[in-house]
Amino acid sequence: MAATIFWKVLMATQTRPEGKARSFGENIESDLASRFLRVVEVAAIASARTMGQGERKLSDQVATEAMRHTMDSIPMRGTIVIGEGERDEAPMLYIGEKVGAEFTDGREVPDVDIAVDPLEGTNLCATGAPGSITVLAASERGGLLNAPDCYMEKIVVGPSCKNAVELDASVADNLKNIARRLERDVEDLVVIVLDRPRHEKLIGDIRAAGARIRLIGDGDLSAGIAAAVIGTGVHAVMGSGGAPEGVITAAAIRCLNGYMLGRLVVAPDQEERLARMGIKDKNRIYESQDLAPGKQLIFAATGVTDGALLKGVRFFGEGTRTSSVILTQQTGKVRFIESIHLEKGPDVKVRFA
């Protein structure tokens, strides 16, 4: 009897189909997420060195240079689809720039589209204010909309409020629908709005409806993430911000199963450029899956200054500590990562607290 069982088990193992090793880059989320983490970490450390110096251009420059340099160590054929501007406007990380490295042994590397904001909240970093981050999103080729450098009208809410809001609905109606989905009163809601003159009417409408407002000076990308997550005390983001940042936000929203609507706000002198980019309907309302349609998505961010989502970079005698988040869409992972980057030396000491 024992011999019979042994031979049945042996035959089963012998006839089991052999597993096939996956090629590098077949799943960019698992193969490249940790490498993109290093990109945002290095950029955050570089820009954090300039915190509070009042030099916003310098803060952005060092973040951009660090991010660009680190990307060339990643095995990929990367294309910047959202970056620091057109080729004649930015020395690096410009739209269309090729980044990445090849394997020395000739193995294939994946084609990747990348959207970057080397330093979201340049003013925040320059003044030492909270909420500055380094951030990027990546996907397989064609997975991120090449958005023009214009404004985008946006609404961002969490998973419970999918299809409950409309860009063309009144503020009062949207807030009532959000409150109904969240099973609370409108007066309990908190809406984040960029503190800009163009939002004067929006702010008045939100206040008239009875909801509370959190005005922010910069960083609507971080705000969008907060609105998509339960427990942050933020229930919606409303108003217009940069369209490129809207695409990066959409990548995060897809990873978090949130809901986002966006519509380009196009000035007359920008219409020709939209046509060249293949955008035919300037009035189209985009959802997050239209802005970031990729099947595989990576969102990575590292805190530069302390914020609600991430702690800022901390320097100590023997190294640096960073706080980051990585989101992946297909594999469904949300990772918060604390990293200690040690200086090399014989007397280095590590402290966890």
Q: At what angle do helices 200-209 and 171-182 cross, to 10 degrees?
A: 50
- Structural domains of the chain, ranges and CATH numbers in brackets: 28-142+298-342 (3.30.540.10), 151-291 (3.40.190.90)
- 342-350: long-range contacts at Cβ-Cβ below 8 A with a sequence spacing of 24 or more? 342/318, 343/318, 343/319, 345/318, 348/318, 348/319, 349/317, 349/318, 350/318
Nearest to 285 by CA among 157, 178, 154: 154
Task: Please report which helix (H) or strand (E) contains residue 113, including its range.
Answer: strand 111-120
Per DSSP, helices labelled H in 154-219 are 171-182, 200-209
Amino acid at 255: C
Task: Please report which helix (H) or strand (E) contains residue 62, including its range.
Answer: helix 56-71
Per-residue pLDDT of the chain (353 residues; tens, 9 = 90+): 544 444 444 444 444 455 555 677 789 999 999 999 999 999 999 999 999 999 999 999 999 999 999 999 999 999 999 998 776 567 889 999 999 999 888 889 999 999 999 999 999 999 999 999 999 999 999 999 988 888 999 999 999 999 999 999 999 999 999 999 999 999 999 999 999 999 999 999 999 999 999 999 888 889 999 999 988 999 999 999 999 999 999 999 999 999 999 999 988 877 777 777 778 788 899 999 999 999 999 999 999 999 988 999 999 878 899 999 999 999 999 999 999 988 777 777 776 76
CB proximity list for 171: less than 8 A, separation 6 or greater:
202, 205, 206, 209, 238
Going 45 to 47 to 52 to 53, the CA torsion angle's sign is positive
Q: Is the pTM of this model over 0.85?
A: yes
